[in-house]
Every structure is written in structure tokens, then in C-alpha cells.
Amino acid sequence: MSSTQQSSSTKKQTLFIASLIILWYSSNIGVLLLNKFLLSNYGFRFPIFLTMCHMSACAFLSYVSIVFMKLVPLQPIKSRPQFLKIATLSVVLCGSVVGGNISLRYLPVSFNQAVGATTPFFTALFAYFMTFKREAWVTYAALVPVVAGVVIASGGEPGFHWFGFIMCLSATAARAFKSVLQGILLSSEGEKLNSMNLLLYMSPIAVLVLVPAVLIMEPNVLEVILSLGKQHRYMWLLLFINSTMAYSANLSNFLVTKHTSALTLQVLGNAKGAVAVVISILLFKNPVTVVGIGGYTMTVLGVVAYGEAKRRFR
């Protein structure tokens, strides 16, 4: 291959990865901001139904992507125990997503992201007690500013709401718990699934779990949604885009993970939270304080230090 062809191939690869990263950022940040807009600013106060819409879209689009478009090979479920493990993970996923959506009704996106950045702390905690996995003391020390930053940000958050904070913290803990639990339950080579196949099986189960939850906890959802649909002609379009973005966020995360290194993914992930915070403040104009910004900055730096320490002292 000539140097010109190599250069052209490298440019195409770089452009492809850059496009994936833009899709990943826009999908993740877009679904977060649309969730906030629908739940807080639009009168759509049904976080469980919204989560059910997301999971329904993920179930349908996962099936189309894997079975028809063959973006990734289909990995069949091989046993009843494997199915029960996937169902358990699906229930935990429901709790995490619903908790995060509920918190957006009460908290600004900026503070929601600050609390969400503590995921490594909960992951390390669950890994310690559930798998007895020990890290170097330097790694655990890096988690101190992660927690301290959220404590500081909480004190400096003008829009602080206790219930919203508890739901956000619970959602973050559930997300970390699912990550550790997934490593335990699907540890054997015969049971491991890539993230897209796991989503294919988890999302329909999640819908089945969420339907009775909606009927019990949000019984008037259809009546209110139909009323909102008449008042706001773009509501159904926003709900469709929001649900599609929820799937796109999962797909782009899988593709970025596949085509970049773990370190690149870690750096991009940390930057994504900061970008979401800046955009949300510009869009929703929620008041921020120097103390709040300082706390969030400390948390992000702690997450960066934790990732670096984990990489060096693996």
C-alpha cells in the first residue's frame, strides 16, 4: 500500500471515530437534556412512563439492528439460569434509570451530573464487598475528592432538593451495582454477552417490569399525555426523538468502546459530563455558585485521578 493510500485510510478512520464520538456526545447529552425538559419544563411528570418509552425503543431498535441490519452478531441465550441472570440485571437497570429520571424533576442537570460522577466510588465499594476485589490504597485515596466534591457541591447548590438528591444518589448506586453484578453473574465465557445483545434481552424484560409500575404509580398518564399532545403539537415528536436517542446513546457507547482505547473512553467520558453541565446551564439558566462549581470540579478531578491510579496500579 502506498503512503498516499495509507494517509487516506488513516484520515477516513479518524473521521469515522470523530463521527462516532460526536454521535455519542450528542445522544447522551441530548437524551439527558430532553429528559429534563420534558419532566421539569414541559409538564410531562411521568418518569416511569418515560423510562418505559426508552426501553420500548431500545427493545425494537436493538432487534432491528441485530436481527435485520446485523450490526453485531446475535448471541442467543443458552440456558434458563442465564436468562434469570439477565432478568435480574434488567430489574436493577429499571431502578437506576427510573431513579435518574425522577431526580431530574427536582434537580438541575448540572447537580445531577455532579452526583452521577460518583459512580466510581460506588463501583469500588460494591466490588470490595461483593467480590472481595482489593485495589491499591492510592486508588481508594483518589475517591476521597470524588465524594468530598459532591458534599461541597450540595452545600453550594441553590436548587438542592433532598428527595431529588436521594433519588439521584440511589440511581448512581444502582448503576454501579449493576456493573459489578453483571461482572459476577455473566462471568463465564459461555454466558458473556456484548452490551448490544445484553440490551436486546434486557429492554423487553424492563418494559414488562415497568408496565405494571406505570399502571399502579402513574394511572392517569395516558389521559394527561393526550391532553398535553393537544396543547403542544411537538410533544409526540419530542417523545419519539427522546426515546430514539436513548437507544442511540447505547449504540454509540458500544461503537466508541469498540473503536477507541479504554483510556480514550475514560477521558471522553469525563469531558462529556462537563460539556453536559455547561450546555444545561446555558439552556435552562439554572443559578450556579462558585462553591457548586468548585465541588463539581473537585469530583471530576477525583474521577480522573481514580482512573489514572487504577490504570497504573492494576
d(CA 197, CA 105): 31
pLDDT at 263: 61
Q: Which are the contacts of 270, defined by CB distance < 8 A and separation ≥ 6?
A: 300, 303, 304, 307
Residue bearing cell 435480574: 88
Residue listed under C-alpha cell 490504597: 137
Rounded to the nearest 10°, the torsion over CA 20, 175, 80, 71 is 0
Per-residue pLDDT of the chain (314 residues; tens, 9 = 90+): 556 666 677 788 888 888 988 999 999 999 999 999 999 877 788 999 999 999 999 999 999 999 999 988 999 998 898 899 999 999 999 999 999 999 999 999 989 999 999 998 998 899 888 888 788 888 888 889 989 999 998 888 888 999 999 999 999 999 999 988 988 887 777 778 888 999 999 999 999 999 999 999 999 998 988 888 888 888 899 999 999 999 999 888 888 888 776 667 767 777 888 889 889 988 888 888 899 899 999 998 988 888 888 877 76
* pLDDT of res. 46: 94
Whole-angstrom distance, CA of residue 187 vs CA of residue 255: 22
User: Cβ(292)–Cβ(154) under 8 Å?
Assistant: no
Within 13 A of 33's CA, how many CA atoms are on the CB side?
A: 20
Domain boundaries, the chain: 17-313
Cβ contact 282:29 at 8 Å:
no
CB 203 within 8 Å of CB 97: no
Closest residue by Cα to residue 310 from 146, 164, 178: 146
Rg value, the chain, Cα: 20
Helix (H) or strand (E) holding 66: none
3-state helix, strand, coil in the chain (%, to 5): 80, 0, 20
| Residue from 154, 182, 209 nearest 86 by CA | 182
pLDDT (0 to 100) of residue 314: 64
